Amino acid sequence: MAVPALADPSASSWTTYRSEKFGYRLSYPPEVVLRTYFDGQSADLRDARTDESLAALEVWPPDECPKQPPGVTARALATERAGTATQADGDDGSSWCGDPITLRERTSAHGTALFELELTCMSERLDASGTSVRKTEGRKGPTFFADVSRPWRARVLAIDPTGIDPRLPSRGRSDPALVRRIAETVATFTTEDPHTVCIDEMRPGAITNPARAAPPP
């Protein structure tokens, strides 16, 4: 589902963070603090007053040589990551979130593609008789992804609000509307090409980035 472009919700009082490594920036209001790790590969949005978590951020994939099929899109990365990140296995069974998935796509005022997802969570466990029982646990969402791809690598920035997973004990719930406004400030900027040549791209016919393969002008 596509919706119109959004106006930039950030105000002059908001703080802007830039990840020079991954080429994205985002803004957040004074009542929020951002703690970043590994040059912006991951981060936490937290309540400045209580220090409670509001959302977890993650650049995916974070490495320079992820295994990506030719023509992979940010939308496909977001959908895949939203599901794989929820897989949980234990001695008594497993649980996961995925299809059916509701996905809304929009564009920020900065021209960044944004994806808002809700996933269906399921579990499968053994009962007292040893029979496998599958159960619907509820809906996880909204979770947000921004397209922070560079010309040489497709990437997304996941912004996952706290308290939206029905499988986890409730330890408070962040305000999804506030997290959405923060997600809407994400923008990308030009960064230097690391010129990394991945082994998988060296096989005949395996180049996934035609621009990288082209000779310099």
CA atoms lying within 13 Å on the CB side of residue 136: 7
* Residue 155 covered by a domain: yes
* Residue 90 covered by a domain: yes
Q: Which positions ≥6 away from 174 have C-beta within 8 Å?
A: 45, 52, 53, 54, 55, 161, 162, 163
* Residue 5 covered by a domain: no
Residue keyed to tokens 């119109």: 4
Count how many domains the chain has: 1
* Residue 158 covered by a domain: yes
What order of strands is seen across the sheet that includes strand 156-161?
32-37, 42-47, 53-60, 156-161, 132-147, 113-126, 93-107, 88-90
- Can you tell me the distance from the alpha carbon of 7 to that of 53, in angstroms, rounded to the nearest whole number? 26
* Residue 141 covered by a domain: yes
Query: Containing domain of residue 57, as a range?
Result: 15-213
* Residue 1 covered by a domain: no
- Can you tell me the distance from the alpha carbon of 189 to that of 199, in angstroms, rounded to the nearest whole number? 27
What's residue 129's pLDDT?
82
* Residue 56 covered by a domain: yes
- Can you tell me the distance from the alpha carbon of 200 to that of 179, in angstroms, rounded to the nearest whole number? 37
- Can you tell me the distance from the alpha carbon of 110 to that of 8, in angstroms, rounded to the nearest whole number? 8
Q: What is the pLDDT along the chain (217 residues), one digit of tens a residue?
A: 444 445 555 567 999 999 999 999 999 999 999 999 999 999 999 999 999 999 999 999 998 887 777 789 999 999 999 999 999 988 778 999 999 899 999 998 899 999 999 999 999 988 888 788 999 999 999 999 999 998 888 999 999 999 999 988 766 678 999 999 999 999 999 888 877 777 655 555 444 444 444 434 4
What's residue 155's pLDDT?
95
What's residue 149's pLDDT?
94
Residue-level length of the chain: 217
What's residue 211's pLDDT?
42
* Residue 44 covered by a domain: yes
